[in-house]
Amino acid sequence: MQNLKWFAKHTKRSLSASEMRAVEVNAEALGVSSREMMEMAGYAVAMHVRRLFRNAKNILVVCGNGNNGGDGFVAARMLENNYRVTVALIGSKEEIRKEPAAQEFKELATASPFVSIIENAEEVMDNLCSQNDVIIDAIFGTGFHNTLKPNAEIAIRKINESKKPVVSVDVPSGLDATTGNEKNAVKAKYTITFYKLKTGLLGSKKAGNIVVADIGIPLAAELFAGPGDLLKAAPKRSLESTKRDNGMVLIISGSSEFHGAPVLAATAAQSTLATLRVGAGYAVLYMPNIVKAIAQKISPNLIVRGFGNKNIGEGQFEDIKKEIEKADAVAMGMGIGRAPETLEMAKKIIMYAKTKGRKTVVDADAIYALNKTTKLGSNIILTPNDHEFEFLNGKATGKEIEERAKQAVDLAGKISANIVLKGHTSIITNGSIVKLNKTETAALATMGTGDVLSGIIAGYAATGASAFDSAVAGVYLHAHIGDSIAKIKGNHILASDIVEQIPYFIKQYDKQ
């Protein structure tokens, strides 16, 4: 990486709860264990308490039953040499979540003869607060979402009533790390937050003085796409949901390009199947009638409808407008050709999808319907290769990662859209934030794989993820599958191989 400072400037200054969780998962994938992060977090809290409260004698650490409580247990153990430490556990030890690191640090703190642990401490919180000089609040962290159980509500109220100085761990307990809702939150004198500010802390009246502490998470965990980005973009599917509830994608693709029509039909079909594999409940493929029958034969899972005869430029715009209105996401451009009437139709479709607020993936030939003066909006995702990007940008595409990233950021800012500049290291940007994804193989450099990527991104977009998050998750999933298949098949991968492997890679991120 040539200029880490430039890339750091193009990451977020503050993170929501889901963004922070994604960074933590990515950090684990990079070799920083949850145990290491928890120990570093507890150490950071202990270090700041020692600095801020040199004259204190008695410290009360109030722990919840999740990872925030684990941070508290670490802090308690690290403070035992300097203070008389009491741990007030909200609930019982048996209620502690089966998070291995939190369990381990709870047991270590329990084993110490210098740390007193009181279970169901909410019942005696008045006395505990009055007997201690400083309170460390480790009840809830970034995973909290606005619902307090009665015992936690009692504990927070008693902490606030005590008027003792409070140091909150990551965020004041009861504060929503994403929205900033802090109606029933702990009122802290200091908040020691980790890695970066949380969006919910911005403007908080209860966080007190905020310190951002390093807990060993590398910038790469945020800058590079990873499994945490799949977790963040994963759709939530209700048991009572129908196919329509789970997102509908409209895919517009194909043309009669000489003998390539079957190939174009196949790649369009694979794109649609990729959308379904990601989790969209309903996908409809619109393509010229001349190749429609070929696509229909590829899979019984496809819904294929005609649009135009030889190319989509011959279709009726009024017909496709109705379908755009029904869809949650649109993907178009794969194999449509560059006939003037086709590009005119493509531009109409893209701009209409924009006016209707539909998240839209613009790929391949459809990119030639646009230029760098066309304002598109945050719901549009362009997925150019180097040649397509050069057409849009009006100049040669850079070779070095930093040069390419700067070009992508500049163009995305001009057209107000998301760009996925595909390559060995793909660059995803919305004109402000940059994410990178590096592949380990050249196996994906084969026909149809880019169409599958468009289908994956559209699938995530239809199931609720933002356009940018859909692009990041789609690029990572696509490349990660390609790298894994290449270990078995080398450079002999078909687009269909990727489609078939999607569920095996993302099922662990399913949400109910």
Angle formed at CA 257 by CA 255 and CA 260, multiple of 5 degrees: 105
Q: Which CATH class is domain 239-504?
A: alpha beta
Structure tokens at 169: 């761990």
pTM of the model as a whole? 0.94
List C-alpha distances in Å: 146 to 138, 152, 184, 210.
16, 12, 9, 21
Task: Give 383-405 pLDDT, tens digit per residue.
Answer: 999 999 999 999 999 999 999 99
Residue with tokens 């998070």: 99
pLDDT higher than threshold 60 for residue 259? no
Neighbours of 487 (CB within 10 A): 10
Looking at residue 258, its pLDDT comes to 45
Considering just the CA atoms, what is the radius of gyration of the chain in Å? 26
Report the range of poorest mean pLDDT among 90-104, 110-124, 265-279, 449-463: 90-104
Average pLDDT, the chain: 92
Domain parsing of the chain, residue ranges: 4-223, 239-504
Q: Is 466 exposed, middle or buried (CB count within 10 Å of its CB: 0-12, 13-18, 19+)?
A: middle
pLDDT higher than threshold 60 for residue 323? yes
Angle formed at CA 371 by CA 397 and CA 316, multiple of 5 degrees: 130
Of all residues in the chain, the percent with pLDDT exceeding 90 is: 74
Residue type, 23: V
Strands of the sheet with 166-169, listed across from one edge = 115-118, 84-89, 58-63, 134-138, 166-169, 190-194, 209-213
C-beta of residue 342 within 8 angstroms of C-beta of residue 255: yes
pLDDT classification of 111: cutoffs 50, 70, 90: confident
User: Which CATH code fits 4-223?
Assistant: 3.40.50.10260
- Measured CA to CA, the distance from residue 13 to residue 233 in angstroms comes to 20
DSSP state, residue 463: T
- Measured CA to CA, the distance from residue 312 to residue 323 in angstroms comes to 14
Task: Give 477-497 pLDDT, tens digit per residue.
Answer: 999 999 999 899 998 988 888
Q: Is 76 exposed, middle or buried (CB count within 10 Å of its CB: 0-12, 13-18, 19+)?
A: buried
Looking at residue 105, its pLDDT comes to 80
Question: Facing residues of 74 across strands?
Answer: none
DSSP state, residue 448: T
Looking at residue 373, its pLDDT comes to 87
Q: Mean of the pLDDT values across residues 287-305?
A: 89
pLDDT classification of 447: cutoffs 50, 70, 90: confident
- Measured CA to CA, the distance from residue 55 to residue 58 in angstroms comes to 10
Which tops the pLDDT comparison, 260 or 510?
510
pLDDT higher than threshold 60 for residue 260? no
Dihedrals phi, psi of 19, to nearest 5 degrees: -70, -40
Q: Mean of the pLDDT values across residues 462-486?
A: 95
DSSP state, residue 494: -
pLDDT higher than threshold 80 for residue 301? yes
Task: Give 182-207 pLDDT, tens digit per residue.
Answer: 999 999 999 999 999 999 999 999 99
- Measured CA to CA, the distance from residue 472 to residue 224 in angstroms comes to 9
Residues 6+ apart with CB under 8 A from 485: 443, 493, 497, 498, 501
Looking at residue 103, its pLDDT comes to 72
DSSP string covering 81-129, please?
TTSEEEEEESS-GGGS---HHHHHHHHHHHH-TTEEEETTGGGGHHHHH
- Measured CA to CA, the distance from residue 495 to residue 101 in angstroms comes to 40
